[in-house]
Copies of this chain bind each other. A is one copy, B any other.
Amino acid sequence: MIDQLIEAIIQKKSPIVVGLDPRFNQIPQAIKEKCLAEYGETLEAVAAAIKIFNRGIIDAVADEVPAVKPQVAFYEQYGLPGMAAYLDACQYAASKGLVVIADVKRGDIGSTSKAYAKAHLGQVQVGNKNYQGFPADFATINPYLGDDCMKEFEAEIVQEDKGIFILVKTSNPTSGQLQDLVMADGKHLYEKTAEIVAGWNDKICGKFGYSPVGAVVGATYPEELSALRAQMPKAMLLVPGYGAQGGGAKDVINAFDTKGLGAIVNNSRGIIFAYEKIGGDYQEAARKAVIAMKQDINDTLSSVGKQYW
C-alpha cells in the first residue's frame, strides 16, 4: 500500500492528503437545513449532513489528491450515527480510488492493539465469513506504550498490505511537553520514537525505498522535521500543520527527500472549509484550495530542485 500511495502521489503530482474533519456548524447552511428538515434536530441529521458534505469534498478533490484522512474524533462525538458517517467516508473515498488514512491515533497493550489493528486495517472472522469494521489503508498510531502495540499491526501491514504512521513529533503547541524532553544521552524523546520507527523501517521496505511504517511529523516544527527526515530515511512522513495550524510550503519542504518524495502533507480545515474564506460553492472552493496548495508545494519543491515530476 505504501507503493500504491507513492505511485498515486507521482501520478497526480500531488503530495497532499485532505483531512476530512467535518464540524457540523461549518457545513454549508443548505446541507444542514435539508438534513435537519428531514431528520429533525438529531444525530442522524448531523450524520446525514456529514455524509453529503464529505462525498461532495471527495468528488471535488479525488482527481487532484492521492489520499484523504478522516479524523475519527469528529465522527465519534456524534455517537453511532457519527461512526456510520465515518464508515461512509472511508468506503466512499476508497470507491473513488483514494488511499484512506484513518487518523485514529490508537495505541494500547498487545492484545488490545490487535483488536485496533483488525478494526481499522484488518478483518474479523465470524464463522466462515470475514468482515472489515472500519476499512482503511493506513492508521495513525500513538507510540507511548512501545513496540507491543506496533507488533500487533505487523500482520495487517504484511498480510493485508496496509501501513501505519507512528506519531513522532506532533504539530500542536504543547507537543514539546513530553516529545522535546532531553534524555540522559542528549537525545530528545521524539528522536527515541524515531529510532523505533527506523528500526521497523529496516525490517519492511517497499520498492520506492519507503516502508509501510511511516511517521507523523508536524509542519509547525520545521527544524525538527529536517532532522527527523535524516534520521528516518525510509519512513514516509505524514506532515500535519500546513494551513490552519500555521505551517506553509517552506516549512514542509524539508520533509521531502532529495528526489522530492517521502512526504505527504495534510490540510483539513484549509481545504474542506475553504468556502468560508474564498466564498462560492464549497466543492469549487475546496478544489481551488487543493490546486493552490499543490501549486504552492510544487513551486517550492521546484525552487530547491526537488520536484520529482
Point out residues on A near B: beta carbons under 8 Å.
21, 24, 36, 41-43, 45-46, 71, 73-74, 76-80, 82-84, 87, 105-110, 112-113, 115-116, 118-120, 124, 126-129, 131-134, 142-149, 167, 170-179, 181-184, 186, 189, 192-193, 196, 240, 245
- The answer to whether A124 and B77 touch across the interface, beta carbons within 8 angstroms, is yes
Residue among B71, B113, B126 making CB contact with A43, cutoff 8 Å: B126
- The answer to whether B178 and A116 touch across the interface, beta carbons within 8 angstroms, is no
- The answer to whether A145 and B172 touch across the interface, beta carbons within 8 angstroms, is yes
Question: Given A106-B105, A172-B148, do A126 and B77 touch, yes or no (CB 8 Å)?
Answer: no
Oligomer copy total: 2
Q: Is the interface of A mostly helix, strand, loop or mixed?
A: helix
Bound Cα distance from A71 to B71, whole angstroms: 20
Residue of B nearest to A112 (CB): B73
**Among A36, A41, A110, A182: residue with most chain B CB under 10 A:** A41
Residue among B41, B133, B186, B193 making CB contact with A126, cutoff 8 Å: B41
Residue among B127, B146, B176, B181 making CB contact with A177, cutoff 8 Å: B146
- The answer to whether B110 and A108 touch across the interface, beta carbons within 8 angstroms, is no
Chain B contacts for A71, CB-based, 8 A: 108, 112, 115
Residue of B nearest to A241 (CB): B109
Q: How far is the CB of A37 from chain B (nearest CB, A)?
A: 11
- The answer to whether B178 and A143 touch across the interface, beta carbons within 8 angstroms, is yes
**Among A108, A170, A196: residue with most chain B CB under 10 A:** A108
